[in-house]
Amino acid sequence: MKDVAARAGVGLKTVSRVVNGEPGVTPDTERKVQEAIDALGFRRNDSARVLRKGRTSSVGLVLEDLADPFYGPLSRAVEEVARAHGALLINGSSAEDPDREQELVLALCARRVDGLIVIPAGDDHRYLEPEIKAGIATVFVDRPAGGISADVVLSDSFGGARDGVAHLIAHGHRRIGFIGDQPRIHTAQERLRGYRTAMEDAGLPVDERWISLGSTEPGRVGPVVEKLLTGPEPVTALFAGNNRVTVTAVRMLARRETPVALVGFDDIELADLLGITVIAQDAAALGRTAAERLFRRLDGVADEPARVELATRLLTRGSGEVPPAPGTR
């Protein structure tokens, strides 16, 4: 910038004015400066600007895995809101590892992102307290924060799962399996609670062997499905706790001759063609809502941290409307 000023024969501040489109420069001077800028290929260094202004115009998004089809749309929705506010988005994947989540979050704080959207992997976020106090607005999505009070935007996991299981019950099922994510994950707990509530509301007993929480790897889920469907009293329907579980369940069920009903949490591309009934949550809406809350905070709105819960939708496509196979009831 100094070079530009020298070349244009003007003061430093005048260049700054031109670069930032500030008023108070004669068209003639502006032209001279512009020429110097072009000749030198000058481009403002935002690092210096950030240091001076104290704002980076960037927000961080820490999620579990950007390769998961659930998070792509979420991230994109956040990006769109950020863009509307002139901010860039720094993404990071925690790989469901609490330590990595913390490492990422703190790295983003060191960069002084203006705000942070976090899909928690861990359940203790007290490490964020000083950062939030220092002015980094933070919104949690998909799962609540642990140990601190902060904005959080969730899908109604409990209600969605309850409705999905009630749907299976309405189609005549009494023995329903539940396969969910790691028990430490909040949504897994909530969905299981929805399952139990639906069963209880219908006056049905729950055999604990029908319930399995853990990794969503096909290597774990596959054998679980197998086990639930064999033995003297197999389940006649399955509730899959998330998209990855659903995919594995569909693969397993496709190989069997006896039809087994299935409802999955999360929608999946092409699920309509495969006739998979799901509880759909709107990942983009989740991201958009969280981002809007974040920027409201950045704009200085300082009300109490709120908990927003987005409704889910039951999409009936066939797999959830299969009645129990004759003789298994």
- Binding status of residue 13 toward its own copies by CB under 8 A: no
Q: Which of 89, 154, 245, 291 binds its own copies (CB under 8 A)?
A: 89
- Measured distance CA(264)–CA(245) in Å, rounded: 8
Q: Give how many residues touch its own copies by CB under 8 A.
A: 52
Q: How far is CA 145 from CA 45, 250, 257, in A?
A: 36, 32, 44
Stretch near its own copies under the rule CB under 8 A, chosen from 104-112, 115-123, 184-192, 311-319: 104-112
Q: Provide, rounded to whole angstroms, the least separation between the CB of residue 207 and its own copies.
A: 29
Q: Which does 133 bind (CB under 5 to 8 A by kind): its own copies, DNA, none?
A: its own copies
Q: Which of 71, 140, 239, 265 binds its own copies (CB under 8 A)?
A: 71
- Binding status of residue 133 toward DNA by CB under 7 A: no
Q: Provide, rounded to whole angstroms, the least separation between the CB of residue 43 and DNA.
A: 7
- Binding status of residue 51 toward DNA by CB under 7 A: yes
- 249 in the Ramachandran plot: left (φ > 0), alpha (ψ -120 to 50) or beta? alpha
Cβ neighbourhood burial of 148 (10 Å; 0-12, 13-18, 19+): middle
Residue carrying structure tokens 């307290």: 129
Q: How many CB atoms lie within 10 A of CB 213?
A: 19
Give 206-248 as a DSSP string. --GGGEEES---HHHHHHHHHHHTSSSS--SEEEESSHHHHHH
- Binding status of residue 68 toward its own copies by CB under 8 A: yes
Q: Which is nearer to its own copies, 192 or 260 (CB)?
A: 260
Q: Provide, rounded to whole angstroms, the least separation between the CB of residue 46 and DNA.
A: 7
Q: Using CA atoms of 299, 300, 306, 308 in order, give the dihedral in degrees to the nearest 10.
A: -10
- Binding status of residue 1 toward DNA by CB under 7 A: yes
- Binding status of residue 112 toward its own copies by CB under 8 A: yes
Q: Which does 137 bind (CB under 5 to 8 A by kind): DNA, its own copies, none?
A: none
**Consecutive H or E run containing 289:** helix 283-298
Q: Which is nearer to its own copies, 254 or 302 (CB)?
A: 254
Stretch near its own copies under the rule CB under 8 A, chosen from 110-118, 215-223, 224-232, 295-303: 110-118
- Binding status of residue 284 toward its own copies by CB under 8 A: yes
Q: Which of residues 9-48 bind DNA (CB under 7 A)?
A: 9-14, 16-17, 19-20, 23-26, 28-29, 42, 44-45, 47-48
**Consecutive H or E run containing 307:** strand 307-310
- Binding status of residue 108 toward its own copies by CB under 8 A: yes
User: How far is C-alpha 169 from the chain's CA centre?
Assistant: 30
- Binding status of residue 126 toward its own copies by CB under 8 A: no
Q: Which does 12 bind (CB under 5 to 8 A by kind): its own copies, DNA, none?
A: DNA
| Token duo for residue 64 | 């579990």
Q: Which residue type occupies 48?
A: A
Stretch near its own copies under the rule CB under 8 A, chosen from 139-147, 199-207, 246-254, 288-296: 246-254
CB 236 within 8 A of CB 258: no
Q: Which of 34, 40, 49, 310 binds DNA (CB under 7 A)?
A: 49
- Measured distance CA(133)–CA(225) in Å, rounded: 47
Q: Which is nearer to DNA, 12 or 39 (CB)?
A: 12
- Measured distance CA(214)–CA(248) in Å, rounded: 14
**Contact flags string 215-254 toward DNA, x per CB under 7 A:** ----------------------------------------
CB 143 within 8 A of CB 185: yes
Q: Which does 71 bind (CB under 5 to 8 A by kind): DNA, its own copies, none?
A: its own copies
